[in-house]
Amino acid sequence: MIRRFKEILLAIHSKTLAQQKEILSGELNSWKADSDQTDDILVLGIRF
Looking at residue 31, what is its pLDDT? 86
Looking at residue 36, what is its pLDDT? 84
Average pLDDT over residues 38-43: 87
Task: Write down the domain spans for the chain.
Answer: 1-48
d(C-alpha 34, C-alpha 22), whole Å: 19
Instruction: Give me the numbers of helices (H) and strands (E) for the chain, helices first please.
Output: 2, 0
Tens of pLDDT, residues 16-35: 999 999 999 999 989 888 88
Q: Is the pTM of this model over 0.75?
A: yes
Contacts 24+ apart (CB under 8 A), 17-26: 17/45, 17/47, 20/45, 21/45
Average pLDDT over residues 1-15: 93
